[in-house]
Structure 1
């Protein structure tokens, strides 16, 4: 029997973190959104021609990597989404649907932030990133969204002009500005941290990282 919170009646679904992903019905495509660390940094690295191993990313983004690991346990296509590649992610989902030649379900998962106690904290940047991707899907005709997905979609639409301010003023941005150790771990993996202001740029790139055998590569 369907679970009340699995959103299985809808093509486009939304949830938070690993627990949220596990509440949802299995999806054909899972888009993981961790705007200020995981998604933007890996997207920029892949856009530069690199590949990024999930095992390396786990060292500097616990929450984003945990969601990707949980997503990869099944057999969906796992994509990384952010504000920087929101429209490209939507086009990729539709391309995957065209290749499958059947209706394709998509779960958009906001990673959120893990506290020192291991609890999941709401992250405004991930909600806006997920909502912007869902809005782009809707614009392309994939508008059979769950109530949860519709809510974050319209939130992102309404706040689009304030996106840069909201991200740079967020608690996560302040934490990153003070987080020397996290920056060092990113650089130790051979990656360049994406500045908060750059992470707030909508549709700055057409590159979409897709997980393939434990490595993120550009979707082709």
Structure 2
């Protein structure tokens, strides 16, 4: 019997972290959302012409990388956030057109881990996932699980206050106080995406796609 929590009857699904990904039915596309650090920095790096190895990106945010690593090898894995929400939806639409078949999408908010390793809700990831789900719906990919619909409507209601909401989040305050991930990004020769820039809706049309452990632009 299918699990009541696998959202298998819906095309667009939403859950949190690696446990959430495992809880959902297998999907054709997995979109990983870890707005503050992993997603935004990978998006910006790929947009600027860098090929980013998953092993390198894992040093910037372990949660986002863990979700990527947990995705089934047959799934298409994309990195999404607020900065490229519409571009992600467009990429999913293209994937569906190329497959000539109904395509299932698991949007996974990475969240943050506390010192005990327990997953913590992260408001920025909820908003990033909601932005992507709403952009999918705008393109007619709208057979959406209740979990995903709640994320999308939360984003719709708060889209005018993105910079404030994300800037006031616990994750943003943690980054402002200084985190080792910032130094590791800089050591890679990249500029960490600032918190205000991470909240800039549809600033880029680049969608990182994972191929053989490397993020390159979806095309």
C-alpha deviation, 1:83, in angstroms: 0.2
Equivalents in 1 of 2:153, 2:2: separation in Å? Answer: 26
Aligned twin of 2:84 = 85
C-alpha deviation, 1:165, in angstroms: 0.4
Q: How many residues align?
A: 219
1:115-126 maps to which residues of 2 (within 5 A)?
Answer: 115-126=114-125
Equivalents in 2 of 1:15, 1:150: separation in Å? Answer: 11
Alignment of 1:35 with 2:35, yes or no, is yes
Poorly superposed stretches of 4+, deviation over 6 Å: none
TM-score if structure 2 supplies the norm length? 0.98
Equivalents in 2 of 1:101, 1:62: separation in Å? Answer: 35
Aligned twin of 1:100 = 99
Equivalents in 2 of 1:190, 1:213: separation in Å? Answer: 22
SS at match of 1:32: strand
Listed as ranges, the gaps of 5+ residues in structure 2 are: none
What's the Cα RMSD here?
0.8
TM-score if structure 1 supplies the norm length? 0.98
Listed as ranges, the gaps of 5+ residues in structure 1 are: none
Equivalents in 2 of 1:95, 1:150: separation in Å? Answer: 22
Alignment of 1:63 with 2:68, yes or no, is no
Equivalents in 1 of 2:154, 2:217: separation in Å? Answer: 29
C-alpha deviation, 1:50, in angstroms: 0.7
Aligned twin of 1:174 = 173
Aligned twin of 2:4 = 4
Q: Deviations over 1:122-164 (max 9, x none)?
A: 0000000000000000000011000100011100001110111
